Structures are given as structure tokens and as C-alpha cells.
Amino acid sequence: MELKTIGLFFITAIAEILGCYLPYLWLKEDKSIWLLVPAAFFLGLFAWLLSLHPTAAGRVYAAYGGVYIFVAILWLWLVDGIRPTWWDFLGVSVAMLGMAIIMFAPRAS
């Protein structure tokens, strides 16, 4: 269950980043306005993927933020070509620990 949840968070983060990055390319990099079409698709996919989690929405959104930070730093490295600093890695570690605590802590039924 934990790996499925984390995997779903990763796919969700990629969809959100693409949904925001494509309009960025149009607005800041003078790329085609047609990038808004796949951007809208990816933002819709992002919202749908968040709905697939079986727990309370607020908890999902809070925990998802930790994975989003991890994926955004990977994006910085792999797409933007900027190597993360030690501080970036530390921040990602703290965020992922927070995600794990929020999602996987024992709860009363």
C-alpha cells in the first residue's frame, strides 16, 4: 500500500509540474500558445489523480506536498540543468519525512 501511494504521488507531481511548466514556457520563453492544451490536460489529470487516494483529502494534500518538493528538485536537476545543493537535499529529506509521518502514522479507527 505504501509503495502504491508514493508512486501515485510521484505521477501526480509530474502531472502538476507539466500543467504549470507548459504555460510557463508560453509566458516566459515565448513558446506556442498551443502548449496550453496539454497543460490543461495535465492539470485535469493532476486533480483526478489526487482523488484516487482513499484517505481524507486534507491529509492527502498535505502529504503530497512533500513528494511534490522531491519531484520539483528532480525537475530542477534533470530539466533545468541546475544541480541541487546540499540544502536542497536536506529540505527534500525533511519534506519526505513529513510526508511519511502524515500518511503512514498509526491512527485510531
Identify the pLDDT of residue 109.
67
Identify the pLDDT of residue 1.
54
Cβ contact 63:10 at 8 Å: no
As for how many domains the chain has, the answer is: 1
Domain limits for position 73: 2-104
Q: What is the pTM assigned to this prediction?
A: 0.84
Per DSSP, 31 falls in state -
Q: Is residue 109 part of a domain?
A: no
- Return averaged pLDDT per consecutive 10 residues of the chain, 109 residues in all: 80 95 96 97 94 77 89 95 97 94 83
C-alpha to C-alpha distance for 16 and 6, rounded to whole angstroms: 15
